[in-house]
């Protein structure tokens, strides 16, 4: 008498294929959406050891001028020319109570370009001008490149 195996019994394996498909779709969606969330122009800002935090620069209605490495100027994400800065900044600040303009410049932008932009912003009658920087991370003792370690410049 032959014994036939049972067919159609409960399967104890977990099928992860649908979950992997959903995760890959979510990954693709986030990869496409993330660059669109950045507002303004991306520049490699200068680094400072003691910067002040300027929370208002992150607000949606903040007036931010950006200067790229090659000297292009952007008001928000719109490219503008140097001679348009005063009028466009005046227009943006006319309905605001806080008349602060933030300038973020690429670390390798020409100093003369930055000074010309600051001069035009001041001509627009701003109350205060913020220069945006990134915080310089100090190396801790014992880290590669610290004083006394290989690769460090000793005085």
Domains contained in the chain, CATH given = 47-135 (3.30.420.270)
Which class for 70: exposed (0-12), middle (13-18), buried (19 or more C-beta within 10 A)? exposed
> Given this model, what pLDDT does residue 2 score?
62
pLDDT tens-digit series, residues 67-100: 999 989 999 888 999 999 999 999 988 888 888 8
pLDDT tens-digit series, residues 122-151: 998 888 888 888 888 776 665 554 444 443
Q: Name the band, by pLDDT with cuts 50, 70 and 90, for residue 5.
A: low
Q: What count of other Cβ atoms lies within 10 Å of the Cβ of residue 73?
A: 23
Q: Name the band, by pLDDT with cuts 50, 70 and 90, for residue 29.
A: very high
Upper half-sphere CA count for residue 91 (Cβ side, 13 Å): 6
Higher pLDDT, 129 or 5: 129
H-assigned helices in 38-138: 85-93, 111-123
Cα angle 46, 149, 146; round to 5? 30
């Amino acid at each position: 008498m032959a014994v036939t195996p049972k067919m159609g019994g409960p399967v104890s394996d977990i099928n992860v294929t649908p979950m992997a498909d959903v995760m890959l779709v979510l990954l693709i969606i986030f990869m496409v959406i993330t660059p669109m969330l950045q507002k303004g122009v991306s520049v490699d800002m200068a680094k400072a050891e003691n910067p002040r935090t300027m929370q208002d620069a992150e607000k949606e209605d903040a007036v931010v001028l950006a200067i790229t490495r090659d000297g292009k100027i952007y008001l928000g994400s719109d490219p503008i020319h140097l001679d348009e800065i005063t009028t466009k900044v005046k227009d943006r600040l006319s309905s605001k109570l806080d008349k602060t303009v933030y300038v973020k410049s690429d670390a390798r932008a020409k100093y003369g370009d930055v000074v010309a932009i600051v001069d035009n912003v001041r001509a627009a009658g701003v109350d205060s001008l913020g220069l945006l920087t990134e915080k310089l991370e100090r190396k801790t003792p014992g880290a590669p490149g610290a004083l006394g370690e290989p690769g460090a410049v000793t005085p």
